[in-house]
Amino acid sequence: MSIITSRDNKWLKLFRAALRGSGPESGKSIGVEGPKLVEDALRSGLETEALLVSESAEAHAESILHAAGETDAGISRSRILRTTDKLFQSVSGTDAPQGVAALFRQRDWGLDDVLRGGGEMREAPALAVVLAEIQDPGNVGTILRSAEAFGATGVATTRGTADPWSPKALRASAGAGLRLPVLRGMAIPVLLAQLRMARVKIYATSSASSADASRQADFRAQADLREPAAIFIGNEGAGLSQEVIRAADAVLTIPIRANVESLNAGVAASIALYEAAKQRQSEVRVGAK
């Protein structure tokens, strides 16, 4: 295969936009960088549009092509592209490029996918995480990583939330954003209405000082997270809107010391998801007896 040597090559332009952007528009490619993330994306079943390998990273190509060979779609030989290390660095979104990147076609997820999950999760009650105006891609990725680890069926993001398919969020999610059903850019009123129609309990997370004390739910005693549930995580500074708080069936609060204002959004989401996983595992153990 010939080596791409022009900075103005159409494929390099596409990779540059995908790997340095804030997330793909509808119908545009998801940019994934690094051998492990590319392999994860292939094994998750995403359709590859192009693979780009730098001269010094060709040793990684064999394992990636092996992973592609185990999928239904594979990678078209005409879409395996080579370029110089210098040009790869010009399209990379990281400070220390590993010389491998790929463009993948977006999956067309819907709310039903987020509530049902994929694979073995399809038999579990819905456990959706809703990211409401979370602006830090690192927090978005952390929450997706915890969502996958603790058995969430899927993730929805509202308008104003950093794109879960942005390069920074994908790296922070360790590839979870490529495996979990993800619904992006939902309007909050529409999402709340759809969750109600699906008979999914809505739980808001909030600090004890800002939540309505009469509606706060202690995780251990009152919040039944074994049933179909959607846990809303709010903006890093402002938290959740009053629209969500009013619509929630309960407000989940995590007890913290009085001199601490709040928890990081990723930490709060992880604690809530861990509690949901613990309750569900406990129910399975009781049922097994």
| pLDDT (0 to 100) of residue 207 | 61
Fold of 3-104: 60s Ribosomal Protein L30; Chain: A; (3.30.1330)
The answer to whether residues 207 and 239 touch, using CB atoms and an 8 Å cutoff, is yes
Token representation of residue 77: 């030989």
Question: What average pLDDT does the segment 187-212 reach?
Answer: 85
| Separation of alpha carbons 35 and 208, rounded Å | 43
**Neighbouring C-beta atoms of residue 29, cutoff 10 Å:** 20
Indicate the pLDDT class of residue 212, thresholds 50, 70 and 90. Answer: very low
Strand duo 48-54 + 100-104: pairing:
antiparallel
CATH number of the domain at 111-288, please? 3.40.1280.10
Give me the DSSP letters along 207-224.
-TTTS-GGGEE-TTTT--
Q: Is the pLDDT of residue 215 over 60?
A: no
Q: Is the pLDDT of residue 283 over 70?
A: no
What is the maximum alpha-carbon separation in the chain?
A: 68
Give me the DSSP letters along 18-73.
HHHSS-PPTTSPEEEESHHHHHHHHHTTPPEEEEEEEGGGHHHHHHHHHHHHTSSS
Question: What average pLDDT does the segment 199-224 reach?
Answer: 65
Token representation of residue 81: 């592209």
Low-confidence winner among 10-14, 152-156, 280-284 (lowest mean pLDDT): 280-284
For the stretch 232-252, pLDDT in tens is 999 988 889 999 999 999 988
For the stretch 85-137, pLDDT in tens is 999 999 999 989 999 999 999 999 999 999 998 665 567 899 999 999 999 99
Token representation of residue 217: 């739910």
Domain boundaries, the chain: 3-104, 111-288
218 compared with 193, residue with greater pLDDT: 193
**Neighbouring C-beta atoms of residue 161, cutoff 10 Å:** 25
| pLDDT (0 to 100) of residue 213 | 47
CA angle 4, 7, 11 (to 5 degrees): 60
Q: Is 189 exposed, middle or buried (0-12, 13-18, 19+ CB in 10 A)?
A: exposed
What pTM was computed for the model? 0.88
Q: Is 289 exposed, middle or buried (0-12, 13-18, 19+ CB in 10 A)?
A: exposed
Question: What average pLDDT does the segment 157-166 reach?
Answer: 96
The answer to whether residues 91 and 32 touch, using CB atoms and an 8 Å cutoff, is no
| pLDDT (0 to 100) of residue 120 | 58
Q: Is the pLDDT of residue 38 over 90?
A: yes
